[in-house]
Structure 1
Amino acid sequence: MLTPSESWQWNYCPKRDRLLLDLNDELQFCSPFSAAQLMAKPMQQALSINEAEVFWAIDNSLQALALPEAVRLELCLTGLSCAYLPLLAHKSWYFQQANNHSIELHSVVVVRGMNTQHALVISTDQESSTCLFLDSITTLAGKVLPRLHVVRLLNNRMSPLSKKNSLRYIA
């Protein structure tokens, strides 16, 4: 898997209308986020040490899901690009209430609508967290939110990933 580097550069591409991360001269990550979703459009902004630490924290959490390396890398980079999104209003009423748990930053959680899905916690505070869905989920209202959709939820709408249910530990 690629390793974060100070040579990685954040950019906004008006032609593609996407936030990009230049990884080297031949490789570029295109985020799913357009200008309308961004609070800032970076130009030649180098990856910071803090962002590299976040990359490794996300990768460490995703290890529990036994995902292919390419998918894990995509999720790590998409998680990093979420830092350019503004704070969202919460959409908790679309999801089932869970037991009130302490939610950890950069952890994988379980969210239940009409189906159950994993999400990555991008930011958190005492009451709510911003999450990146790892696959599509159908809300209680029947709306399908696509893979890599970012939503803010009250912490009582998600459960930590149970170690005994972790796909990495089954088999």
Structure 2
Amino acid sequence: MLKPNNSWMWYYDQQNDALMLDLGDDMIFRVAIPTKHLIPCAFTKTVFTVDDATTYQTFIENLNQLDLSAPRKAELALNAVAASRFHKPLMPKSWFFQELSEGLEPEQGDVVTLLTEFGEANYLVIENTGCASLCMMANIAPLTLTVSKEMAFCEVIKVMNNRMKSLEIEQESVVRFALVG
């Protein structure tokens, strides 16, 4: 598992037209956020801060409840840190998702489920702005939003909180019997 340190650096790579994170030891992480969605400070070389490390740890701890490999969890968490720091503000696009009778008040790092008429997927909450939250797709398989639009792993969307439901984890039931006699 990746452990953040003070040598990590964010920088924008002109050649690859992407925000990158230099992890040291010849490891470079390419952020999944499209360039057009980056705020201006993303184009300046900056250090991976203590706040970034804290946010990363929050995301990693909450992702443990998902059935993802360790590398996929790290990928999702690093993309989520980048989104929390460098993503332009978005307007909610809640119309893709079913409204629920009771909404949530999610916190940063919570994993929630959103439903469309075509299926459902888990999302990592990056930021709650009151009545809506910036969320990142946490499923490997794409989710169909409409007949012509899908969301992929690590894509970001802002959604009203009344579209979210708590993550339900299926647990194997264990039946124990006492032997008597």
State the TM-score, normalizing by the size of structure 2. 0.86
Larger Rg: 2
Percent identity for Structure 1 against Structure 2: 26
2:9, 2:46 within 8 Å by CA — same for their partners in 1? yes
Match of 2:4 in 1: 4
Query: Kindly tell me: are residues 151 and 87 of structure 1, through their superposed partners in 2, closer, same or farther at Cα, counting changes over 3 Å?
Result: same
Say how many residue pairs are matched.
Answer: 167
Matching of residues 121-132 of structure 1 within 5 Å: 121-132=125-136
For residue 95 of structure 2, what is the amino acid of its counterpart? W
Measure the CA separation in 1 of the matches of 2:96 and 2:147.
6
Matched, 1:29 2:29: yes
> Structure 2: 5+ residue runs without aligned partners?
174-181
Deviations 1:51-103 (A, max 9, x none): 10000000011000132111111011111110201110100011001222221
2:88 equivalent among 70, 86, 89: 86
User: Does 152-161 or 37-46 show the bigger shift?
Assistant: 37-46
Matching of residues 17-96 of structure 1 within 5 Å: 17-40=17-40, 41-82=42-83, 83-96=85-98
For residue 138 of structure 1, what is the amino acid of its counterpart? T
Matched, 1:119 2:101: no
Matched, 1:100 2:72: no
1:94, 1:141 within 8 Å by CA — same for their partners in 2? no
> Structure 1: 5+ residue runs without aligned partners?
none
Matching of residues 116-155 of structure 1 within 5 Å: 116-135=120-139, 136-140=142-146, 143-155=149-161
State the TM-score, normalizing by the size of structure 1. 0.91
C-alpha displacement of 1:138: 1.3
Measure the CA separation in 2 of the matches of 1:80 and 1:59.
10
Query: Kindly tell me: are residues 170 and 38 of structure 1, through their superposed partners in 2, closer, same or farther at Cα, counting changes over 3 Å?
Result: farther
Deviations 1:100-125 (A, max 9, x none): 22212111110101211000001102
Measure the CA separation in 1 of the matches of 2:147 and 2:132.
20
For residue 152 of structure 1, what is the amino acid of its counterpart? K
